[in-house]
Amino acid sequence: MSQIWRLVTQEPVVPRGSSPLADLLDRLCKAAVRDLDVSGCGVSLMSEADPLGTGAASDATCEALEELQFTVGEGPCVDAYAARHSIMEPDLLSPAQQRWPLYAPAAAELGARAVFAFPLQLGAARLGALDVYNVEPGPLSQATVTRALGFADVATDAVLDSQALAGISPVTAGADLVIDHRAQLYHAQGMVMIQLGTDLTTAMVRMRAHAYGHSRSLGDVARDIATGRLRLDADSGPEGEEIDSSF
């Protein structure tokens, strides 16, 4: 694992302006792409209560692929986190692939044909997952899987080390990467709950349906709701035709 740490620290630092942990995970994703010879890599952070969001990505496309999972509520990192083991999907468009009816075709449209998720965990602590993408279908070699697990271990150590330095929980340390995004999401969810006179779960379902139906990220929809540009109408149809108050 020390060799992987060296690869990560050799990556150029391109500060994101959010936190040292975010910068480190970005470098890890870029190092993983080079070392594993894959098309892309992303890290998503999660908690028992709710997904936190995308922590890092090797490029903009991978960031969109990571965010897509939170928009539709399904995908490799969601399953890897819940199952506590790696999830391998060598062909997202295979007729045999049925576990992600929303995520798979949307991810393929973004350019991913294969995805492999490796959980970030140590003992009872579960922090999220590292996702590896390829633009061509096909399995990873066993050597690449072993190496990817090493990158997942390094990502886990990075989040736990950040927690130890700050004296806070691992989930809180991870949340520092996405706190503004998640806070806006929760605020929008509460607004929709009040507007529709429903519960929080239904409010999130409606937000995700609108995001998916309009080919937008859940974060973008939440921002528009929170700023008053978008209002979800209780009388809107199943296709998600809602009122946009900006027009």
Residues 42 and 158 in one domain: yes
Residue 17's pLDDT is what?
55
Residues 17 and 69 in one domain: yes
Residues 7 and 105 in one domain: yes
Residues 162 and 193 in one domain: no
Residues 79 and 121 in one domain: yes
The band of 53, judged by pLDDT with boundaries at 50, 70 and 90, is low
Residues 135 and 230 in one domain: no
Q: Of 50-54, 82-86, 120-124, which range is least confident?
A: 50-54
Residue with tokens 């706190």: 179
Residue 51's pLDDT is what?
55
Q: 153, 113, 108: which is closest to 130 by C-alpha?
A: 153
CATH of the domain at 83: 3.30.450.40
Asked if 104 and 112 count as a contact pair (C-beta separation under 8 A), the reply is no
Residues 218 and 238 in one domain: yes
Choose the final residue of a domain: 122, 155, 175: 175
Domain of 244, in residue numbers: 178-247
Q: Which residues contact 96 (CB under 8 A, 6 or more apart)?
A: none
Question: Percent of the chain scored above 70 by pLDDT?
Answer: 79
202-241: per-residue pLDDT in tens? 887 788 788 877 877 777 788 888 888 888 876 554 344 4
How many separate domains does the chain show? 2
Which H/E stretch holds residue 150? helix 142-166
Mean pLDDT to the nearest integer, 92-104: 91
Residues 123 and 222 in one domain: no
Q: Of 80-94, 107-121, 161-175, 197-211, which range is least confident?
A: 161-175
pTM of the entire predicted model = 0.73
Question: Percent of the chain scored above 90 by pLDDT?
Answer: 42
